[in-house]
Amino acid sequence: MANNGGPTRTPEEERYLRGRKLFDSRKFIEALDELEPLIGDDQWRERAKPLLIRLVKALDVGSAAPPMKLRMQRMRKMLGLDSNDAGNRPWEEVFIERESSSLERLGPEFSERRGTGSRRLRIRRESTQAESAAVESVGPFEMVERTPHLEIESDDELQALSRFEAKVFLDKLAPTAGEVSEPVRALAGSRVEMTLAASGHFTFESPPTATFTMDGDADRMDIATVRLQVVEKPKQVEGAPFLAAIFYVDSRPCGRVTRSVFIRGVGNELARQETPPSAGQTQPDPWALSSPNVTPPSVEIGPNGPKAADLTVTIVAADANDGRSYLCTVQSPHLEEFKERKSCPWNLQSTTRDLVAGFMKKFASQPAGSLDLIAELRGAGNILFEASPRLFQEAFWGLIDANVNLKTIAIITAEPFVPWELMIPNRWKNGTDPEERPALGVEFQLGRWTDTRVIAPSPKIQLRDSFVVAPAYVGNRILKNSNAEAEMVLKNYPGDRIAPANFSGIQTKLGSEGRSLVHFICHGDDDGSGIQTILLEEGRQLSSSALLGMPGIAKIFRAKRPVVFLNACKIGQTLPSMVGLGGFVVSFIKLGATAVIAPLWSVEDAVAGKIATIFYDKLKASPDTPLSEIFASIRTMAYEEGSGRDTYAAYCFYGDPFASLAN
């Protein structure tokens, strides 16, 4: 991203960023060369230390050459890995101690140079064959998992204007009574950010954010104690009173804990629940609709360094799970007021399911591809943006007014219905001039991830082989372009068309053999209950709940982390299709898909096949193009004057906005 008039980076910051980039590229020795001098800088020592610890673990292996072993011994001592106090000793002491005993014996493998008042050893940039082999043999870094807790002082005594403290910490114990917790998972040494968000019943009297290092050796990590106050008139605040602590690595959520809070006179009895939920359990819907034997997949949160989106929005649902009460957090590295994550309540007049269903009914009443339908699409986009969280609108217009090159938007949300892709930003600029921009999903790379656990998706996408599910329909159910689309997919990513495409055939194939792409070409239905179905051969159906009960599929999906493209035609339009409680998007995300592509409403067969062809052709021609960027260009065609077709706007990309085949 361009600097956009921001402060110039210091040499130390440039060195740190180069080191992170080299580390991500697995050029560990070069990364160490860049980062090692930062230990001598008081301002940068603590920031560089977690990355240096991971470098030591990567390079300090048994097959390393003697010079590398010696260097790693020295680094371990400086970082405090060998003793409790060595990490706090000055740079000069550590180096002088090592040099006095070993400098003369090192020979040509080491060069000597002067530092700031001290002598330092620096290994030459060229690595030996043994060192290179050691680097290649490095396996995954240690993934640390801890349970987040949110402890509230004097919970039984809170009333209007009460002051209290909320303590946030991690440990290895199960959630306590009143907590709904999703374990925090991050690599040892990762820099993790915590943001405490609160409903409108509370105000903060101390900073609600904290940063810490994920320590794999610590059974308990105390993160922050935040002071809050109950507002003067809590009864007048919409929604349920609750708090949520959300944890991030590089702006990607990696765990959270929520707690309903009892305030006298407000009547929130949920805070009185006696039985703590099991670890990792979130709201009862939609996950509870699935098989109890299917546990949520774990997303591998990588080391610090990957790019964060220009604008990140996180939506957490209240424990009441009423479909109306949410907390929204917003962060952007390009705006001073949003560099630290900010939060606000997001309370809606009606449930999001009913809100979006109203727009879907409008679509259903218009002929496919008609100008009337496109007008409904634009109008709905305006209203949806106006209903979006206040902080999101402030951050968005702040970025626009600051002339920031806004490109990527990440939405990680427990709210499954609102189609952020269709929102059309609009306002009265300066109070007098109307301003409207293209839909968010047209102008920007928008990645939406629907997950009640509020865990970010993986940016790593791989497509090598495929399964195609294309039932051979008969009579008026025949999809004329189905065979051509199936052949196109299999040509791009060799694999198999599942035949017969009945319940047994799909269960056998998907439950026994993994493929990196699963592409559906089918009819679908949504009866409004939240359980969606795909029409199969022989008059059979596959429901989104039965999918979760198929033996072996969860294990295969977790191992392969496939992309799922659900190209479903003639889906009932009276409710949002392929999203929501128990829908296929939720089911595939729960099973472990790394990205899901699905339409929001009924799509035209011919146009659906064309969209699939455009998508796969662009991926083949340019594998480094983010999938979100491809769908932004596809959606543009829906709004073309005089020729727009609503089908082009129907497709949602559920995944990381940076996800591409080159990652």
Please write down the HEC assignment for all residues of 219-263: CCEEEEEEEEEECCCHHHCCCCCEEEEEEEECCEEEEEEEEECCC
Q: For position 360, what pLDDT does the model report? A: 65
pLDDT band of 103, cuts 50, 70, 90: very low
Question: What is the pairing mode between strands 209-213 and 191-198?
Answer: antiparallel
Supply the pLDDT for residue 55.
81
Angle between helices 482-492 and 605-621 (to 10 degrees): 10
Tokens of 458: 């993986």
Mean pLDDT of 152-163: 85
pLDDT band at 28 (very low <50, low <70, confident <90, very high): confident
Confidence class for position 258, pLDDT limits 50, 70, 90: very high
Q: Which residue has the higher pLDDT, 51 or 412?
A: 412
Banded pLDDT at 633 (limits 50, 70, 90): very high
| Distance between CA atoms of residues 584 and 257, nearest Å | 26
Class of domain 143-281: mainly beta
Question: Using a CB cutoff of 8 Å and minimum separation of 24, what contacts does 588-591 make?
Answer: 588/547, 588/557, 588/564, 589/449, 589/450, 589/451, 589/654, 590/287, 590/290, 590/294, 590/296, 590/297, 590/548, 591/294, 591/297, 591/547, 591/548, 591/553, 591/554, 591/557, 591/558
- What is the rounded CA–CA span in Å between residue 562 and residue 519? 10
CA–CA gap between residue 55 and residue 30 (Å, rounded): 10
Mean pLDDT of 490-516: 94
Q: Count Cβ atoms within 10 A of the Cβ of residue 139 and give its class: 0-12 exposed, 13-18 middle, 19 or more buried.
A: exposed
Same fold, 143-281 and 466-654: no
As a whole number of angstroms, the distance between CA 168 and CA 383 comes to 37
320 vs 646, higher pLDDT: 646
pLDDT tens digits, one per residue of 211-253: 999 988 899 999 999 999 999 999 999 888 999 999 999 899 9
Higher local confidence (pLDDT), 59 or 599: 599
Between 283 and 586, name the one with better pLDDT: 586
Q: Is a pLDDT exceeding 70 seen at residue 289? A: no
- pLDDT computed for residue 8 by the predictor: 67
Pairing of strands 179-182, 252-260: antiparallel
The whole-angstrom separation of Cα 503 and Cα 565 is 19
CATH, range 466-654: 3.40.50.1460
Residue 474 is classified by DSSP as -
Measured CA to CA in angstroms, residue 158 lies from 177, 199, 649 at distances of 18, 15, 48
Is 388 within 8 Å of 356 (Cβ atoms)? no
Q: Are 660 and 463 in contact (CB under 8 A)?
A: no
How far from the centroid of its chain's Cα atoms is residue 369's Cα? 33
pLDDT band, very low/low/confident/very high, at 568 (cuts 50, 70, 90): confident
The dihedral through the CA atoms of 21, 24, 30, 32 has a sign that is positive
| Cα–Cα nearest to 581, from 417, 448, 447 | 417
- For 538, the token pair is 């022989």
Q: Specify whether the CB–CB gap between 160 and 232 falls below 8 A.
A: yes
Domain boundaries, the chain: 11-136, 143-281, 466-654
Q: State residue 238's pLDDT score.
A: 85
As a whole number, mean pLDDT of residues 311-325 equals: 84
Please name the residue ranges forming H helices in 60-176: 66-78, 91-102, 129-136
pLDDT at residue number 571: 41
What is the average pLDDT score of the chain?
Answer: 80
Least confident of 31-35, 165-169, 224-228, 505-509: 31-35
Q: Which residue has the higher pLDDT, 372 or 480?
A: 480
Q: What is the pLDDT of residue 600?
A: 82
Confidence (pLDDT) at 40: 73
pLDDT at 64 over 70: no
pLDDT at 95: 33
Q: Considering only 169-178, 278-287, 608-617, which range has the smallest mean pLDDT?
A: 278-287
What pLDDT sits at residue 655? 95
Q: Flag whether pLDDT at 608 surpasses 60.
A: yes
SS3 category, 205? coil
pLDDT of 274 reads 42
**Tell me, what's the pLDDT at 302?**
63
- Quote the DSSP letter at residue 660: B
Characterize 523-560 residue by residue with b for buried, 16 or more Cβ atoms within 10 angstroms of its Cβ, and e for exposed: bbbbeeebbbbbbbbeebebbbbbbbebeebbebbeeb
**Interval 417-442 mean pLDDT:** 92
> Which has the higher per-residue pLDDT, 273 or 59?
59
pLDDT above 70 (res 331): yes
> Does the pLDDT value for residue 320 go beyond 80?
no
Considering the entire predicted model, what is its pTM? Answer: 0.76
Is the model's pLDDT at 262 over the cut of 60?
A: yes
* pLDDT of 105: 34
**pLDDT value of residue 239:** 82
> 358 pLDDT exceeds 90?
no
pLDDT-based confidence at residue 114 (cuts at 50, 70, 90)? very low
CB 189 within 8 A of CB 213: yes
Residue 201 has pLDDT above 90, yes or no: yes
